[in-house]
């Protein structure tokens, strides 16, 4: 396994790091030199930074996001798009756990379900009115509300449960499993088994959970009419806002010291351990964060699609989310969003007309992305950029050294360049004998 874990990270040493590295490393250099640049009267120097393209893209995406609900057909396309954004929220958590932490979680359906059912239970009880049981319980002959449903009458409890339940479950599982150094494929299988068990439990407890049908027929969502066009727009803005906040928060997490440690654990857990850190705690926290994002995504998807049922949480949708993240780029948080939106959009577009062909295409997508595009769409640009120098190197031509950022002091820049570039090409190959 030692062999495998290092090779496994061979393609992955850099991509996650680089956005974070450029962000965090250039920040301190920009600030002091920025003043001198300003003193020279160069407002352009402050504007044209290495992050400029990224910022432009960010602004464009936000603009498109604001315009979208007024362009898309509010009755059909807009709710679909909102649904993709919910998946993107789940995907971003997978990106953190898998791309940054090396923890492949195949059971995010469990956390989506915890959030979705918490929200669904509240909405159901809200519709039923005080003292009454939800309609499906009537049909199953359950007359008295089960004790674990009772707290969900309160919206505060329901929203708190969306946050707290996944943290509790993920922390418990994480501590138990990571403490014993169960990782890699073992962890993936365990999460998958947990999601499967959860789904079987939900289906089996027909009277308490609505069984295969799940919870549905909600009349509204906190006063929003989920059947009206205006309601669709409101839901869209809520979802998009939550996605934006989570994205920005997780960017901070990734760029922080904690994020660097997480990357370090992914690439060499034992080395981090030898340095005196406790990987168990760090991995558990990262896993819990990804669980919460999944749960929030699950809670938001309930009013959007108007239903939460076990079929949405099973192994298959869980692993499809993972592959969507892989398509977008597992090492980049933005990639996870792109992947979730693109793959789900492609699914609804193609499977409307060719359900069987879509399955083939999806299978081929799994294989193709893993085989040819391990960094996903987000890595495609990087791959193109690195392709030229790599080809030159292969041909024995010395590529011109990359120009150092003008703001960085010359003594620091090559060192920083080394730290980023060398491990990405040299180190894994050496160790992967």
Find tokens 């939460």 and name the residue: 308
- Closest approach of other proteins to the CB of residue 354, in Å: 11
In the complex with other proteins, the residue whose CB is nearer, 132 or 181, is 181
Instruction: Quote the least distance from Cβ 292 to other proteins, whole Å.
Output: 21
Residue 193 or 419: which CB sits closer to other proteins? 193
CA distances from 239 to 24, 78, 82, 185, 236 (A): 28, 12, 7, 33, 5
Nearer to other proteins, 64 or 197 (CB): 197
Q: Which residues of 366-391 are buried (b: 16+ CB within 10 A; e: fewer)?
A: beebeeebbbbbbbeebeeeeeeeee
**Nearest in space to 12 (alpha carbons), one of 414, 370, 407, 393:** 370
Nearer to other proteins, 296 or 323 (CB): 323
356 vs 401, beta carbon nearer other proteins: 356
How many helices (H) and strands (E) in the chain? 19, 2
The CB-based long-range contact list for 139-148 (8 Å cut-off, 24+ gap) reads 140/206, 140/207, 140/211, 141/207, 142/207, 142/208, 146/208, 148/208
Q: Minimum Å distance from CB 215 to other proteins?
A: 17
Upper half-sphere CA count for residue 330 (Cβ side, 13 Å): 25
* Least distance CB 2 / other proteins (angstroms): 5
DSSP assignment letter at 213: G
- Residue pair 150/91 in contact (Cβ under 8 Å)? The answer is no
Least distance between other proteins and beta carbon 356 (Å): 6
CA distance 177 to 273: 16
Q: For binding to other proteins (CB under 8 A), which residues are involved? A: 1-5, 7-8, 104, 106, 173, 176-177, 180-182, 184-186, 188-190, 192-194, 196-198, 200-205, 269-270, 315-316, 319, 322-323, 326, 356, 359-360, 362-367, 370-371, 374, 432
- Select 249 or 370, whichever has its Cβ closest to other proteins: 370
Whose Cβ is closer to other proteins: residue 233's or residue 320's? 320
CB of 270 to other proteins, least distance (A): 6
Q: How far is the CB of 120 from other proteins (least distance, A)?
A: 18
- In whole angstroms, the minimum distance from the beta carbon of 8 to other proteins comes to 5
Task: Find the shortest distance in angstroms from Cβ 109 to other proteins.
Answer: 13
258-266 CB contacts, 8 Å cutoff, 24+ apart: 258/282, 258/285, 259/20, 259/100, 260/20, 262/100, 262/101, 262/286, 263/16, 263/17, 263/20, 263/100, 265/101, 265/102, 266/9, 266/12, 266/100, 266/101, 266/102
Give 315-341 as a DSSP string. HHHHHHHHHHHHHH-TT-HHHHHHHHH
12 in Cβ contact with 266 (< 8 Å) = yes
Nearer Cβ to other proteins (205/418): 205
- Please, are residues 54 and 20 in contact by the beta-carbon 8 Å criterion? no
**Closer to other proteins by Cβ: residue 85 or 114:** 114
Rounded Cα gap, residues 45 and 37, in angstroms: 6
The CB-of-369 to other proteins minimum distance in angstroms stands at 8
d(CA 251, CA 259): 9
Which residue lies nearer to other proteins by CB, 356 or 430? 356
């Amino acid at each position: 396994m030692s062999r495998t874990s290092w090779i496994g990270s061979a393609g992955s040493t850099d991509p996650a790091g680089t956005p974070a590295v450029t962000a965090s490393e250039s920040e301190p250099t920009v600030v002091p030199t920025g003043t001198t640049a300003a003193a020279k009267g160069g407002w352009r120097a402050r504007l044209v930074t290495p992050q400029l393209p990224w910022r432009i893209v960010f602004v464009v995406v936000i603009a498109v996001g604001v315009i979208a609900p007024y362009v898309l057909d509010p009755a059909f396309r807009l709710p679909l798009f909102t649904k993709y954004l919910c998946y993107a929220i789940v995907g971003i958590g997978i990106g953190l756990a898998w791309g940054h932490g090396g923890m492949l979680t195949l059971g995010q359906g469990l956390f989506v379900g915890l959030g979705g059912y918490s929200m669904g239970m509240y909405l159901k009880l809200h519709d039923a009115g005080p003292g009454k049981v939800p309609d499906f319980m009537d049909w199953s002959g359950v007359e008295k509300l089960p004790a674990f449903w009772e707290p969900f009458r309160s919206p505060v409890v329901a929203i708190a449960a969306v946050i707290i339940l996944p943290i509790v479950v993920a922390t418990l599982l994480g501590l138990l499993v990571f403490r014993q150094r169960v990782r890699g494929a073992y962890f993936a299988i365990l999460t998958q088994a947990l999601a499967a068990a959860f789904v079987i439990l939900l289906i089996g407890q027909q009277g308490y959970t609505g069984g295969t049908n799940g919870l549905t027929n909600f009349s509204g969502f906190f006063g929003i009419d989920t059947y009206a066009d205006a309601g669709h727009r409101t839901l869209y803005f809520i979802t998009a806002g939550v996605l934006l906040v989570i994205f920005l928060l997780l960017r901070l997490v990734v760029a922080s010291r904690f994020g660097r440690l997480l990357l370090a654990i992914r690439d060499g857990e034992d080395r981090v351990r030898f340095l005196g850190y406790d990987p168990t705690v760090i991995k558990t926290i990262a896993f819990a964060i990804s669980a919460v994002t999944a749960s929030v995504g699950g809670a938001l998807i309930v009013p959007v699609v108007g239903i939460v049922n076990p079929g949405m949480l099973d192994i298959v949708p869980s692993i499809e989310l993972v592959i969507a993240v892989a398509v977008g780029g597992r090492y980049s948080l933005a990639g996870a969003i792109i992947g979730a939106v693109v793959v789900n959009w492609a699914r609804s577009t193609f499977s409307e007309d060719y359900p069987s062909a879509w399955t083939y295409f999806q299978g081929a997508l799994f294989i193709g992305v893993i085989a040819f595009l391990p960094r996903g769409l987000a890595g495609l640009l990087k791959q193109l950029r690195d392709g030229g120098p790599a080809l030159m190197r292969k041909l024995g031509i010395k590529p011109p050294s990359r120009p150092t950022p003008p703001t960085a002091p010359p003594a620091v820049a090559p060192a920083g360049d080394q730290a980023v570039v060398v491990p990405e090409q040299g180190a894994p190959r050496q160790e992967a004998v």
